[in-house]
Amino acid sequence: MFAIPENALKSGGSAELMFKGPAGRLEGLIATPKVEPIGTCVVCHPHPLFGGTMGNKVVWTVANAALKAGLRVARFNFRGVGRSEGLFDDGLGETEDALAVAEAIRATAPNLPLVLGGFSFGGHVALRAASRTPTRALVTIAPPMGRYLKSDAAPAHPHCPWFAAHSADDDVVAYDETVAAFATYDPPPQFQHFDGAGHFFHGRLGELQDAVLRFLSPLPA
């Protein structure tokens, strides 16, 4: 049975660990807030083939906001990234990875609600995972909605409160396609528009963290 190291369970504690994934071991990090946890959160990173890892600064920003909101937070490397085993699977296997990590974390505290989050490709993965497991809230930052709505036979729906943010000058993920995709959801996500932040929110990470923290404090019902 998966167990969180004792030093990570302490107030303000953290630890490196390995999760059991569907394609092999998954490298991860877990952190516990300084207060009694009110939930658990799993944050997914950007595209593995373009340098995405759990160390990405936007992923860290979302994770830190969740930690400040009182959630125990896990970040992890998708299959084939860092010390994680397996090979890239274009979002399909990565969704299974996210679900495996979420279930492992949830099993250690089954009464705590789950929050999923992700940046860019990781936002798409988090959305797909949220459509398949009970989720209290979802956070997606600059998710490539246009691409995956076109390729998915049935677009995923999280069926929970959902916060999304995107910068209009994003040169990696098409802002207009993402906004148009959001409009097809009923209800649509709570959306925060940024100007001049680019894809990686250079110089704007503090604003982004504050926005995510406001959404998660208190945890949406």
User: Domains of the chain by range and CATH?
Assistant: 16-216 (3.40.50.1820)
Higher pLDDT: 145 or 149? It is: 145
Average pLDDT estimate for 25-44: 97
Q: What is the pTM of this model?
A: 0.95
Residue 130 contacts residue 160 (beta carbons within 8 Å): yes
Q: What pLDDT score does 33 carry? A: 96
Lowest mean pLDDT among 5-9, 147-151, 182-186: 147-151
Enter the DSSP assignment of 186: S
Q: Residue 72 contacts by C-beta under 8 Å, 6 or more apart in sequence?
A: 30, 31, 32, 33, 37, 39, 40, 41, 105, 109, 112
Q: In the chain, pLDDT over 90 holds for what percent of residues?
A: 85
Stretch 133-139: mean pLDDT: 97
Supply 17's token pair.
């660990």
Confidence of residue 96 (pLDDT cuts 50, 70, 90): very high
Question: Given a cut of 80, is residue 129 above it in pLDDT?
Answer: yes
Euclidean distance between CA atoms 104 and 96, whole angstroms: 12
DSSP single-letter state for residue 50 = G
d(CA 68, CA 209): 10
Helix spans in the chain (H): 6-9, 57-68, 92-108, 121-130, 145-151, 175-182, 205-216
